[in-house]
């Protein structure tokens, strides 16, 4: 089925002619990086928008372009990308940055992965930049709202040259899925950043169709039936406007067609692809969760399917959760601890909770519901609903 499957992979940074509907955004990032291409200080940027709107793609593409153009001008400019959803503490993010700069400038240098703190990792970064006379470093901090200690790392990076840590200029592109992220930044960091903001809006159906058409050569010739790309684009535009999810669905449809020994990717493969893509995304989202978080989600999904209802009181969830624990051969944790875990899942957007208005002799109490299809949750957790 596939000729160049890498075109459909997360993290692939395409050439300019494959980037659709983001001309204004490309210009905004280009203006921020423009001074660095000529040997001056880059400007900082805060980019907002829902997932799959091209924030990471445009940032990485333009940083790569800036590096090439700077080289043409005799200017040494490098960039590093840090995914704060994975490296979610200041120390982890600093380690990823230090290792990335090391790999770019001096691959033989030994930097420990454990046993030192953020300050020591940053010292490695500053030493590398100065030893190799790098003029500018562009740091892309993706999903910075997931980073515990974001104020600290933003302060460190934005004041590195001013405070004499390095002779190199350091520019920041901070990316957040939350439009209100700016409000969470402390005043000292806000002043230090002196940034510009830009909002990325969801793609429409026409743009999504163009994006997918530009990835058609990921497949062998004539493998995609005529209705596949229009349907994927229409579904993605209607549900989320997320190009990343649309590309994922197309890739999964190809894989499902291949598994079924079909000679073409057909419309019938798309529905299965959507389910598989959603289950895999959810599994990735909770991959680092504790077993008891997963048991609670299985309990909530099972209740949703069995009772054909959406909202449940904690007492019902706890009772079913204990059954899940028994099936798994695990001792249940306390009522209070389950309450805290439910609050955490609500904060992460996996579940929702609200206070009911109460009723006669009931009073107000909190109910919980899933933000995902319960079948998808159970499939992702490889569990059953017959509890």
d(CA 174, CA 184) in angstroms, rounded, equals 13
- d(Cα 25, Cα 201) in Å, to the nearest integer? 10
Question: Closest Cα to residue 368, out of 350, 345, 352?
Answer: 352
pLDDT digits (tens, 9 = 90+) for 267-318: 899 988 988 888 887 787 787 788 999 999 999 999 999 998 889 998 999 9
**CATH 3.40.50.300 domain position(s) in the chain:** 22-199
Looking at residue 346, its pLDDT comes to: 86
Nearest by Cα to 42 from 151, 124, 161, 137: 137
What is the model's pLDDT at position 111?
Answer: 95
pLDDT recorded at residue 194: 66
- Indicate the burial class of 275 (C-beta count within 10 angstroms; 0-12, 13-18, 19 or more): middle
**Which part of the chain has CATH 1.10.10.10?**
291-380
Residue 355's contacts (CB-CB under 8 Å, 6 or more residues apart) are 364, 365, 366
The CATH classification of domain 22-199, taken from the options 2.40.420.20, 3.10.20.30, 3.40.50.300, 1.10.10.10:
3.40.50.300
What does the pLDDT read at residue 277?
81
How far is 358 from 133, CA to CA, in rounded Å? Answer: 67
Supply the CATH classification number for the domain 291-380.
1.10.10.10
Residues of the chain with CATH 1.10.8.60: 205-285
Q: Which residues contact 22 (CB under 8 A, 6 or more apart)?
A: 54, 57, 58, 200
Does 56 belong to an annotated binding site? yes
Q: What is the pLDDT of residue 384?
A: 52
Q: Is 215 annotated as a binding residue?
A: yes
The reply to whether 364 sits in an annotated binding site is no
Mean pLDDT by 10 residues, the chain (387 residues): 90 85 94 95 91 92 96 96 90 96 96 94 97 96 84 90 94 88 74 78 92 93 93 86 90 93 92 84 78 93 91 92 94 92 85 71 75 85 61
Whether 197 and 176 have beta carbons less than 8 Å apart is answered as no
What is the second-level CATH architecture of the domain 205-285?
Orthogonal Bundle (1.10)
The pLDDT value recorded for residue 360 is 45
Is 385 known as a binding-site position? no
Per-residue model confidence (pLDDT) at position 337: 92
Is 54 annotated to bind a ligand? Reply is: yes
Predicted structure pTM score = 0.75
């Amino acid at each position: 089925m596939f000729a160049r499957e890498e075109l459909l992979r997360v993290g692939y940074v395409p050439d300019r002619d494959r980037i659709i509907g983001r001309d204004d955004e490309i210009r905004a990032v280009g203006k921020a990086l423009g001074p660095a291409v000529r040997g001056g200080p880059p400007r900082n940027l805060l980019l907002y928008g829902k997932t799959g709107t091209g924030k990471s793609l445009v940032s990485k593409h333009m940083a790569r372009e800036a590096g090439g153009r700077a080289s043409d001008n005799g200017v040494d400019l490098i960039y590093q990308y840090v995914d704060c959803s994975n490296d979610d503490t200041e120390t982890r993010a600093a380690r990823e940055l230090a290792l990335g700069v090391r790999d770019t400038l001096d691959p033989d240098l030994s930097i420990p992965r454990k046993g030192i703190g953020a300050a020591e990792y940053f010292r490695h970064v500053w030493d590398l930049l100065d030893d190799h006379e790098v003029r500018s470093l562009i740091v892309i901090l993706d999903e910075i709202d997931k980073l515990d200690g974001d104020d600290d790392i933003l302060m460190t990076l934005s004041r590195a040259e001013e405070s004499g840590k390095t002779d190199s200029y350091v520019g920041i592109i901070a990316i957040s899925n939350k439009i209100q992220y700016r409000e969470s930044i402390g005043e000292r960091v806000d002043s230090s950043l002196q940034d510009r903001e830009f909002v990325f809006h969801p793609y429409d159906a026409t743009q999504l169709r163009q994006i997918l058409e530009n990835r058609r050569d990921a497949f062998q010739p004539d493998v995609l039936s005529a209705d596949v790309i229009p349907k994927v684009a229409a579904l993605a535009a209607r549900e989320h406007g997320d190009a990343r999810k649309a590309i994922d669905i197309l890739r999964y449809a190809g894989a499902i067609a291949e598994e079924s020994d079909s000679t073409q990717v057909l419309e019938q493969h798309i529905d299965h692809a959507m389910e598989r893509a959603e289950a895999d995304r959810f599994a990735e989202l909770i991959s680092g969760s504790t077993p008891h978080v997963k048991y609670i989600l299985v309990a909530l999904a099972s209740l949703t399917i069995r009772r054909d209802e959406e909202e449940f009181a904690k007492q019902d969830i706890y009772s079913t959760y204990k059954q899940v624990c028994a099936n798994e051969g695990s001792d249940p944790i306390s009522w209070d601890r389950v309450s805290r875990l439910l609050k955490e899942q609500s904060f992460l957007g996996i579940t929702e909770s609200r206070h009911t208005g109460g009723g006669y002799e009931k009073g107000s109490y909190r109910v919980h519901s899933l933000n995902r299809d319960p079948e998808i949750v159970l499939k992702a957790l490889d569990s059953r609903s017959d509890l």
